[in-house]
Amino acid sequence: MENDDFQKILELHKKYLLGKDGGKMANLKDADLQGAEMDRAELECANLRNANLRSANLRGTNLRSADMRGADLVNAKLKGANLERVNLAGANLSGARLEGACMMRANLTEAKLTGANLEGADLICATLKDAKLMDACLKSAAMTGAYLTGVNLEGATMPDGKQYDPAVHTTEMLSG
């Protein structure tokens, strides 16, 4: 996607969020935004379903309540991003940088987070059903109320800073 086209979509989306005339919700479904610089973009409620966001810079971006089902976020930079209530079901976030991201009530059902860095992330009440978090870093992550049925934590660094041990780190203990 051309940068001018993308900037126009962001401009119209901002108007949409503010309830201004001429505003239009951002529809970036299936968009190729690989490597895009979207630092601190305002994409609340946007449609990014199946978008290619590989290696994109989304640091500090507001993606609250966005539809990102099936999105490709491999190696994306989402440090400090607002992902509250975002739908990331089936998304691939392998190797993503999510340090300090707010992911409260996010839907990460069947998401791939292999090798992702979620240090200090807020996963309170997030749904991680059947998610793959192998070798992920969850150090200091808040996980109270998180739904963890079927989650794979093999090799992950847990909120207590220790390597995942199924005898010590039960899903009941993690979700509080």
What are the tens digits of pLDDT across the range 111-143? 999 999 999 999 999 999 999 999 999 999 999
Range of the domain at 140: 28-176
Say yes or no to pLDDT of 87 above 70.
yes
Structural domain contains residue 108: yes
Structural domain contains residue 17: no
Q: What is the pTM of this model?
A: 0.93
Count of domains forming the chain: 1
Structural domain contains residue 151: yes
Structural domain contains residue 147: yes
CATH number at residue 119: 2.160.20.80
Structural domain contains residue 20: no
Structural domain contains residue 38: yes
Cα gap 66→7, rounded to integer Å = 18
Structural domain contains residue 22: no
Mean pLDDT of 23-46: 95
pLDDT computed for residue 47 by the predictor: 98
Beta bridge partners of 148: none
pLDDT band at 171 (very low <50, low <70, confident <90, very high): low
Which residues are within 8 A (CB) of 33 and not within 5 positions of it... i.e. 6 or more apart?
1, 6, 51, 52, 53, 56
Structural domain contains residue 2: no
